[in-house]
Amino acid sequence: MAFTGTTRKVTAHLTQNEALSFEKSAPGKKGYKLAPLDVPEADASALLGDSVRSNEPMLPELSEIEIIRHFTRLSTWNYAIDLGMYPLGSCTMKYNPRVNEFVSRLEGIAEAHPYQPEALSQGLLEIIKLLQDCLLDITGMHAITLQPAAGAHGEFTGILLARAWHESKGNPRKTILIPDSAHGTNPATAASCGYQIINLKSNEQGGVDVAALAEIVNEDTAAMMLTNPSTIGVFEHEIHKIADVLHAKGALLYMDGANMNALVGKTRPGDFGVDVMHLNLHKTFSTPHGGGGPGSGPVACKDFLEPFLPTPVLAQGPDGLLHWNYDRPQSVGRVRMLYGNFGMFVRALAYILANGPDGLRQTTEDAVLNANYIRKKLEDVYELPYPTASMHEVVFSDKRQVKNRVKTGDIAKRLIDYGFHPYTTSFPLIVPGALMIEPTESESREELDLFIDAMRQIAREAEENPELVTSAPHSTRISRLDETTAARKPVLRWHKPVVRWKTPGPNDPVEIGTPAKEW
């Protein structure tokens, strides 16, 4: 079906086809040249005996130009922030500054070995110290660990801290309260820390029902995990009451910092009663998402939780030198080897330095401005399930479009034809058919207007030609993929075709790279 829509934003163009690297491989081609060996070549069989590898892994054999083209061609099949607006709600797809990448690759930073002497690592430790200090002031907390590798890992660490504190008082308690609007990582985290989950039903404004909360909290409650602003982009204006209710029963308030981009420089979780929280450096602090990682999920906490932080913690000696302190008898232990995703710390700090206090505040204001602008310009065509004021993201529902059997997922796919990455679909769970839109501060008014224009046109298409929307996208290299077959008969690796499978006997040499069994 022909594309009918705006052409202001996109024009179709050719992209190169590209097979898998294995399919392009030819024996004897090389993309590498090692320096000559300046020591005698070892006799691998003699040195390794039975432990020597007897077969060759089926890795591709390609020249350098083919490798560059291979991955460059693949890259052109991706949408990216660098190409346009990426309004994935709750993901904070903001611009990833290039100076961040540059400084993270400086010699002395990129090549630093984690076990090199601390005296020869002072510059690295100073980077960590300054980032920690900035994040502490941004959050209003007292102590921090940068060790967790991602947001969910930070949640895990934060709940371990809460648990360790309760245990130190004689009882780890049993339950964690989680609103039904929460990210799926929250209940998964609580379960992995040995807690039972109690789901909290959101109130009519999509927020926490404080009265209902007060009835549920008791001496079994270890903590509540709360996202603020919530996943519908609404600030919990009774946050201090929530904290009071929890604290009155000895329970802690954990804040999921996924939506911190709405708060930086405007308000501080530590001030409004949060005891422990994580940040996502890959969201709020501009480190690249990289197609799904690496992330970084620092955990900040109040003083009373400090003794439980993962080992090691950064410390400063009387001589002014920074060092890692491993002598932490009450620590929850390590959650990751070494010190965390240091490369992300460098990038996050570069972002903070580029902004300064004024830039950080302006960033937050622009993020909130952009979300409210979209809300205003779309609220007459898309249903707004919660009319509460939006912060950095706005959540609509597909209620009006569903009448024509057009669902949020269809509208999202149709957005692709208009040159945008889809918003987050079907989340949060409290909004049936949710369209969760987070523009971030990185969008110009021009880009926002194009997005608004696209969304309005799609709303009209849903009325006039729903089939056009439900069969979208129409302009991509491939159309919708058969996910059912992918899951029922998983093909998770490539196999060389036309080679017979032979089950190895006990005395056969071990063969790797033997071809497929049928799934």
Partner 1 sequence: MRYLPKSDAERAAMLRDIGVGSIDELFSAIPEEYRLARDLNAPRQMGESEIVDHFKAAAQKNANGYTSFLGAGAYRHYRPVVIDTIVQRGEFLTSYTPYQAEITQGTLQAIFEFQTMICELTGMDIANASMYDGSTGAAEAVMMAVRVTGRDGVLVARTAHPEYREVMHTYAQHQGHEAREVGYGPDGRIDLSALEQAVTEETACVLVQSPNFLGIIEDIPAIAEIAHKKDALLIVSIAEAVSLGIVRPPVEADIVSMEAQSFGVALSYGGPYCGVIAAKEKYLRQMPGRLVGETTDTQGRRGFVLTLSTREQHIRREKATSNICTNQALVALMATVFLTVYGKQGIRELALQNLSKAKYAADTLGKHGKLLFAGTPRFHEFVLQTEDPPKQINVRLLEKKIIGGLPLKKWYPELGNASLWCATELTTKDQIDAAAAVLASAPVAATAR
Tokens of 6: 């705006």
Beta partners for residue 313, in sequence order? 325
The Cα-based distances of 196 to 174, 188, 222, 230, 299 in angstroms read: 6, 10, 10, 22, 22
| Residue of 8, 16, 52, 171 interacting with partner 1 (CB under 8 A) | 52
| Residue of 8, 12, 16, 20 interacting with partner 1 (CB under 8 A) | 20
Name which of 391 and 469 has its Cβ closer to partner 1. Answer: 391
- Pairing of β 143-145 and β 299-301: antiparallel
- Residue 246 in contact with partner 1, rule: CB under 8 A: no
Stretch that binds partner 1, among 215-223, 262-270, 299-307, 456-464 (CB under 8 A): 262-270
| Residue of 62, 253, 348, 430 interacting with partner 1 (CB under 8 A) | 62
Inter-axis angle of helices 185-192 and 151-168, to 10 degrees? 40
- Residue 184 in contact with partner 1, rule: CB under 8 A: yes
Residues of span 272-331 touching partner 1 by CB under 8 A: 272, 282, 288-296, 310-311
Quick note: the x/- pattern for partner 1 over 342-381, rule CB under 8 A, is: xxx-x---x-xxxxxxxxxxxx-xx-xx--xx-xxx----
| Smallest distance from partner 1 to CB 2, Å | 16
Size of the chain, expressed as the number of residues it contains: 519
User: Is there a contact between 472 and 414 (Cβ–Cβ < 8 Å)?
Assistant: yes
> Which helix (H) or strand (E) element contains residue 164?
helix 151-168
| Smallest distance from partner 1 to CB 304, Å | 20
Residues of span 125-154 touching partner 1 by CB under 8 A: 126-127, 130, 133-134, 137-138, 149-153
| Residue of 1, 2, 14, 50 interacting with partner 1 (CB under 8 A) | 50
Inter-axis angle of helices 122-139 and 342-378, to 10 degrees? 30
Name which of 377 and 399 has its Cβ closer to partner 1. Answer: 377
Stretch that binds partner 1, among 3-11, 300-308, 383-391, 394-402 (CB under 8 A): 383-391
Stretch that binds partner 1, among 6-14, 216-224, 396-404, 411-419 (CB under 8 A): 411-419
CA-atom Rg of the chain in angstroms: 26
| Smallest distance from partner 1 to CB 158, Å | 12
* φ and ψ at residue 501, rounded to 5 degrees: -85, 130
| Smallest distance from partner 1 to CB 46, Å | 10
- Residue 83 in contact with partner 1, rule: CB under 8 A: yes
Q: How far apart are the C-alpha atoms of 366 and 143, rounded to whole Å?
A: 29
User: Is there a contact between 275 and 302 (Cβ–Cβ < 8 Å)?
Assistant: yes
- Residue 418 in contact with partner 1, rule: CB under 8 A: no
Tokens of 421: 């990455």
User: Is there a contact between 176 and 197 (Cβ–Cβ < 8 Å)?
Assistant: yes
Name which of 205 and 463 has its Cβ closer to partner 1. Answer: 205
DSSP 432-471: TTEEEE---TT--HHHHHHHHHHHHHHHHHHHH-HHHHHT
- Residue 254 in contact with partner 1, rule: CB under 8 A: no
